[in-house]
Amino acid sequence: MDTYFDVIVVGGGHAGCEAAAASSNLGAKTLLISMDMFSFARMSCNPAVGGIAKGQIVREIDALGGYTGIVTDASSLQFRMLNRSKGPAMWSPRAQCDKSEFSSNWRRILETRSNLMIYADIVTSLTFQGSRICGVVCRTGAKFTSKTLVLTTGTFLGGKIFIGSNSFPGGRIGEQPSLGLTEQLKEMGIRTSRMKTGTPPRIDLSSVDLTQSVLQEGDVNPEKFSFLPYLSTAQSFDQMPCYIFHTNEKVHDILRSGFKDSPLFNGLIHGKGPRYCPSIEDKLRTFPDKDSHQLFLEPEGRHTKEYYLQGFSSSLPLQVQLDALHAINGLQNARIYKPAYAVEYDYFDPGQLSQSLESQVVDCLFLAGQVNGTTGYEEAAGQGIIAGINAALKSLGKEPFVLGRDEAYIGVLIDDLITKGVDEPYRMFTSRAEYRILLRQDNADFRLTSKSHNIGLASEYRYDFTSRKYDKISLLSDFALSVNIKPDAVNAYLESIDSAPVSESKKISDILSRPGTKFSDLIKIVPRGTIQSHSVDTSSLKLNHISSFDFNSIDFLKTDVVLPDDSPEFNTLNSLYLDELYTSVEIQLKYQGYIGREERNAGKISRLENLIIPDDFDFSRLSGLSIECRQKLAKYKPHTISQASRISGVSPSDISVLLVYFGR
């Protein structure tokens, strides 16, 4: 058995899977060590991917050449594009998934990576050479060495589970924690603390009265996460509905009766929980006047009756949970497969990381996922692919790969972690990004695929497909900016959407600036000859020689299926592809003023990113800085003045001092 690797990844969760896949695809000899080979990227909490800002991260992972989006599409039970009623910067894809298929699809991907070895074991200790990490020792006695190591152990470091007064070691219910690693890293100088997360009960659907619920269906025309053209189950699968229930005052009274035994309130749990995904007892204490809370009953798989009750996370005693559930209309006879529980675990201060996610304390150690104080599959996977990329690049003697705040939500996430630290589990929101009009879910491939291709991760096929796609979008945009529509051609359409008619010919782009107009509708109005003379007819825009992944194949990421031009599948893919092109053009033209303004603002900020602060700079030398500023800068060690400006406690006057000094 091989024992020496370029990169070792410890932990097979969402971060670990993306890290291992990225590292191996970059050509680094990689080892993934996971406790259980049936639990790759296990969906411990809600079996759904995406959501507000999270969906954007998944699209970015896909654009970089990662697999979370592809696996989601292959495992989907329901798809919804959230926030359609708002601007496109807020649109966020979300898919309910079959959790069993999700893990097995990830396993199929990992087992087909040519440079990746998988070993099922528990890492019990880390090995060092001075301040550099150089390997691991496993419970079986196996020893492995490497040039770099990525730690992605999720909630398993010192994990402890709480259900009322009952507590026991565990990273997930029924699974052992990882012990000893935190203490080793603490001795090396890495700061650590505790956080808490939780999960709700799993319910037997056959015991639920669905007539007392509100049905929540998926989108009529479901989309997909991956930008690649393939025969996605997202266009062909039978979507499963979710069900909405509500708590009531009786439920709340029962829950309050158990507060005295809640480990959240009696001091047994010391870690801080996620403010934006609170337990049900947290909700009652935070919103004491609210007489009802919404709950979502969501499927865990296509072939199981196990359902997830989103909104009912708890660490209350089992009997209190049952009594409260049975007081909910529709759940009076509900049976549970598993109770709700809380998990407390160790995490490391992300303020000690560089933008590549390498530790500033331990050389060659990269950290990703919940060990950095984040919450959510998407945030973990986003960190995982960056950590995997940079661990591989470092092992191969190459420069790190870093994303800025104006380039990706992943860049915002990592920058927030290293410059602001965390005092609660970090969750991504669109409001955290200054340039969210630039960082839309629809243009992640435009922003990131070429960057990933340059370092050798995004494939030639993906890069070529993206380039051709945006050439067509540019062609369509120029067409809309140059071609006029006459009043007699467009007024009937405008009246149909309650928009005022025009009295003279207007550019397509001008008409498109009106609310309710769609580019896909307007292009149908333009005379056929005009369309053909500008080379924007559908025959020139359609896909050619599609290599489509076949999800029914055991090697669905290795087997290409060339579709005949006259096949129904080819026509379906072309229709979806045209819709994607038209939507991108519509967004660019409707919001070009806002997009231009954000691009100019991002350009101004990027100039501060070019003012580098040396790693070993002594901030005490600058007497013009406030004491708090000097302390914060010494703690977080920003690499640029732009980073320094985002650290809490660093004032504009402090930035002026830095600009004067480093701008000389």
Residue pLDDT, tens place only, 437-474: 999 999 999 999 999 999 999 998 899 989 999 999 99
Can you count the helices (H) and strands (E) in the chain? 22, 24
% residues pLDDT > 70 (the chain): 95
The DSSP letter of residue 472 is H
Spatial separation of the C-alpha atoms in residues 521 and 534, rounded to whole Å: 18
Region of 393 on the Ramachandran plot (φ > 0 left; ψ -120 to 50 alpha; else beta): alpha
Per-residue pLDDT band at 552 (split at 50, 70, 90): low
Q: Which string of DSSP letters, residue by residue, matches 7-22?
A: EEEE--SHHHHHHHHH
Q: Is the pLDDT of residue 231 over 60?
A: no
Identify the CA nearest to 298 among candidates 143, 98, 9. 98
Per-residue pLDDT band at 528 (split at 50, 70, 90): confident
Is residue 83 packed enough to be buried (19+ CB in 10 Å), middle (13-18) or exposed (0-12)?
middle
Q: Please answer whether residues 531 and 539 qualify as being in contact, where contact means their C-beta atoms are separated by less than 8 angstroms.
A: no
Q: Is the pLDDT of residue 212 over 60?
A: yes
Spatial separation of the C-alpha atoms in residues 284 and 654, rounded to whole Å: 42
| Token pair belonging to 583 | 């939507």
Average pLDDT over residues 129-143: 97
Q: Is the pLDDT of residue 14 over 70?
A: yes
Is residue 655 packed enough to be buried (19+ CB in 10 Å), middle (13-18) or exposed (0-12)?
middle
pLDDT recorded at residue 544: 66
**11-20, 166-175, 554-563 — which one is most confidently predicted on average?**
11-20
Q: Please answer whether residues 48 and 225 qualify as being in contact, where contact means their C-beta atoms are separated by less than 8 angstroms.
A: no
pLDDT recorded at residue 559: 42
Residue pLDDT, tens place only, 611-645: 888 888 898 888 888 888 888 888 888 888 888 88
Residues forming a β-bridge with 295: 245
pLDDT recorded at residue 562: 60
Residue pLDDT, tens place only, 473-483: 999 999 999 99
Comparing 213-217, 248-252, 622-626, 646-650, which segment has the lowest mean pLDDT?
646-650
Comparing 10-19, 369-378, 516-525, which segment has the lowest mean pLDDT?
516-525
Q: Is the pLDDT of residue 228 over 90?
A: no
Q: For residue 151, give every residue at least 6 positions away whose Cβ sits within 8 Å of its Cβ, in sequence order, or none.
A: 10, 11, 181, 365, 366, 367, 368, 371
pLDDT recorded at residue 549: 52
pLDDT recorded at residue 563: 61
More confident call, 569 vs 624: 624
Region of 303 on the Ramachandran plot (φ > 0 left; ψ -120 to 50 alpha; else beta): alpha
Comparing 155-159, 348-352, 368-372, 598-602, which segment has the lowest mean pLDDT?
598-602
**168-177, 397-406, 611-620 — which one is most confidently predicted on average?**
397-406
Spatial separation of the C-alpha atoms in residues 169 and 178, rounded to whole Å: 9
Identify the CA nearest to 390 among candidates 431, 362, 355, 418. 355
Average pLDDT over residues 344-360: 96
Spatial separation of the C-alpha atoms in residues 133 and 363, rounded to whole Å: 6
Comparing 93-102, 458-467, 600-609, which segment has the lowest mean pLDDT?
600-609
313-352: string of b/e by CB count within 10 Å (b at 16+)? bbbbbbebbbbbbebbebbeebebeebbbbbbbbbbbbbb
Spatial separation of the C-alpha atoms in residues 351 and 362, rounded to whole Å: 13
Which residue reads 């496109």 in tokens? 88
Torsion of CA 598, 603, 608, 614, to 10 degrees: 120
Per-residue pLDDT band at 234 (split at 50, 70, 90): very low
Which residue reads 């997009």 in tokens? 595
Spatial separation of the C-alpha atoms in residues 103 and 338, rounded to whole Å: 20
% residues pLDDT > 90 (the chain): 67
Average pLDDT over residues 148-164: 95
Domains of the chain, start order: 202-343 (2.40.30.260), 460-596 (1.10.10.1800), 610-662 (1.10.150.570)
